[in-house]
Chains A and B, each alone.
Chain A
Amino acid sequence: MTHRKIWLLAPALMAIAISYSIAAWAHSFPEQETPSAGQKVASPPSEVVIKFDAPIEKLFAKLEVTGADGANQAIGAPQVSDDGIRLSVKVPLLKPGDYQVKWAVVCIDTHHTQGSYTFTVANGGS
């Protein structure tokens, strides 16, 4: 292949290379939740934990667990592990019912992500 052809091909190759990197560097998103989204647990959890796919900033981490009455059940401020991956909050003995977990974090790349999911504590759990 001549230099001229390489030069003409370069823009196309660049487009492909950069296009493939489109989702390479995302922000922090949950990788694993405990209890998991939509899960029906037999015994109430003592804490709600979200493991993220990238480190988060403790200063801006928010985690709420609300029941049917809309009150936040979390005990104290949410905790972030030293490696910034794990966000957790203690909860009291939860009564049977549906609970919504709302989270909002700032990744160490300074960008926000947020979301919510629900889990259910089955009857007879407490």
Chain B
Amino acid sequence: MIPQPIFAWPLVGAQVLIFGTTAFALFAAPRAVVTGDVSARSLVVLWRVLALIVLVMSPLRLWSIGAGMADSTFREVLPSIPQIMRETFAGRVWTWRLATALLLALVAWIPTPGRLATTLMFVISVALLALQSVTSHAVDKGAFAITIHFMHQAAAGMWIGALVSLLIGATYGHAGADWLRSATSRVSQIAGWSVAALLVTGVIRAWEVLGVQLDLLVNSIYGRTLLWKVGTAATVILIGGYNRYRLVGSVNESSARASLIRNVAVECVLLGAVLGWSAVLANTPPPH
């Protein structure tokens, strides 16, 4: 049996990244990003690749979930997939997810993408995140928990999307110093708000918990995986804090600019790892 996170990680990562980068392009990026410069074209390439990942990985993820639900092999469960899609809650939601993934790919591969296509991709990615939340652990706890899960994902998406957009603009996009100065300031603000939102949604989730045993953090696989995730995210926050208070102010200097871009690349990689830990957690039974 192939471990479930192998299918979940690229799918969750691609969905979150499309949401975050389209949101950044539409609502936060310096104007040049959405008016057809090199940065915008770089983002379009990224979106097309991510949309393909979502399109390819979605049926594979459904297949792996079906095998997990039926407790059988991929080959054994294949004939039962239509029945699972008809008769289970997750299967019905996944029917919509597959259709949404197809729609995303169609929009992303429009020959002459513009602001409308970017807006459509943003809206579709919101739908994908919502459907993702509906098929998460949160579904056990009702609409409020699903909403909190969605906000948690959205905040993570805004964070990593802003960082990746900045990285692409500064590297592949060959954006100038003015763009970088303006974008860095906005990314820093978005990162701050995103971390705050992640904290708030985490605290709200905490209120839902009764009988929490902190010893489970070290005495269960789930807890230890969670510690790795939190530790990785905390490292990103510390790097972000260093960028904000040490480098952003001197972004006009080429050495500071180079350090900033390098640090942002490291943050992106680490946030990718955080999404990986999330994929593992989503497929690990919490302690009971």
A residues engaging B (CB < 8 A)? 3-4, 7-8, 10-15, 17-29, 53-55, 57-60, 84, 106-113
Contact = CB atoms under 8 A, between A and B. Distances in A.
A109 B140 contact: yes
Which one of B65, B195, B216, B229 has the highest number of Cβ atoms from chain A below 10 Å of its Cβ? B195
Given A25-B138, A26-B286, A27-B140, A20 B206 contact: yes
Given A7-B237, A18-B226, A23 B136 contact: no
A111 B285 contact: yes
B116 interface: no
Contacts of A57: 69, 87-90
Interface in B121-157: 135-141, 145
- Looking at chain B's contact residues, the main secondary structure is helix
A14 B206 CA distance: 11
Contact of B286 (A7, A23, A59, A60): A23
Interface string B249-288: 0000000000000000000000000000000000101111
A79 to B, nearest CB: 15
B239 to A, nearest CB: 10
A22 B139 contact: no
A17 to B, nearest CB: 3
B217 interface: yes
Nearest to A20: B206
B68 A22 contact: no
29 contacts: A7-B192, A10-B195, A10-B199, A11-B235, A12-B234, A14-B198, A14-B202, A15-B230, A15-B234, A18-B202, A18-B230, A19-B214, A20-B205, A21-B202, A22-B223, A22-B286, A26-B285, A57-B90, A58-B87, A59-B83, A60-B70, A108-B89, A108-B90, A109-B90, A109-B138, A109-B139, A110-B90, A112-B69, A112-B285
B177 interface: no
A3 B244 CA distance: 10
Interface residues of B, number: 57
Contacts of B43: none
Given A11-B237, A14-B198, A15-B234, A21 B206 contact: yes
Given A10-B199, A24-B209, A108 B70 contact: no
B99 interface: no
A22 B222 contact: yes
Contacts of A10: 195-196, 199, 237, 241
B111 interface: no
A20 B84 contact: no
A15 B125 CA distance: 28
B229 A18 contact: yes
A10 B68 CA distance: 37
A98 B89 CA distance: 36
A101 to B, nearest CB: 18
A20 B212 contact: yes
Which one of A22, A27, A55, A109 has the highest number of Cβ atoms from chain B below 10 Å of its Cβ? A22
B74 to A, nearest CB: 15
Contacts of B136: 25, 109
B213 interface: yes
A57 B89 CA distance: 7
Nearest to B80: A59
A112 B90 CA distance: 13
Given A57-B69, A109-B137, A22 B287 contact: yes
A59 B205 CA distance: 30
A14 B214 CA distance: 15
A54 B68 CA distance: 18
B251 to A, nearest CB: 18
A112 B1 CA distance: 15
